[in-house]
Amino acid sequence: MNHQEYKAFCGCRDRFRAITEAIQRQLPELREIQQALIERDGYSYCVDTSVVYNAALDEVGADADIRLILVGDNPGRREQMAENRRYLVGPSGKIAENFFRQEPALAIDFRKNVIILNKTPVHTPRTAGLKDLCALGGEKIERGIRDSQVEMARLLADFSRALRVPIWITGYSEMKKRGIFGTYTAEIQNLIQSGLLDKNSIFLYRHFSMNQFTIDLRQKARLYGLGTAETLHHAGTEYRERILGI
């Protein structure tokens, strides 16, 4: 990054941290409700971090070579742990790291050339648990999670303008209108229509979890008869047009 890009990146990073801190102030009851959800569903851990800022961004220096922004869903059990507080550090992260390692032609080191954001920084043990969290917490929690999605979509646009690299949004199944991330989708559409986000930089894919991303990509490669890079472009564009309608 040049000086101007790094300055813009740092501004985005500071805003990200401020977003997570603001959510925690506005929803002081969130941790207790998350813990109730965890215990109700039979998990056996205590919440360390109810709203997770991706601390890996603090290690990005001015000499970093960022080539991709990757967007996941929300922080899970490993991501919220006090010793982590980073995104995609569990099984899905290992699958993603392995994918890039096995595709050297893409020239992307997952841990060096990629920054990771989420559609919301609010923790649940499973993404589907966000609906249950809203049911347990009522209108205030539901509104807070919706608002967090708007903020994260806007943050993505800020990072995109700062870095000018491709964006991979993974996990599109809940981005439908009434899905868990319908609010995130609507705000992405608004940002594109207002010119604050370039639609051509955005590509949508399946989750890395349970190897969905890789399996789908291989199927698409056989269907298209193309190599990995070309398949990524075609599949990502196809899903973008399907989900975002743009």
Give tens-digit pLDDT for 13-59.
999 999 999 999 999 999 999 999 999 999 999 999 999 999 999 99
Q: Which domains does the chain have, with CATH numbers?
A: 3-244 (3.40.470)
pLDDT score of 5? 93
pLDDT score of 161? 97
Six token digits for residue 71: 């967007």
Tally of residues, the chain: 246
Tell if the pTM clears 0.85, that is, is over it.
yes
C-alpha torsion angle, residues 58, 91, 33, 71 (rounded to 10): 50
What is the distance between the alpha carbons of residues 117 and 114, in angstroms, rounded to a whole number? 10
What is the distance between the alpha carbons of residues 184 and 77, in angstroms, rounded to a whole number? 22
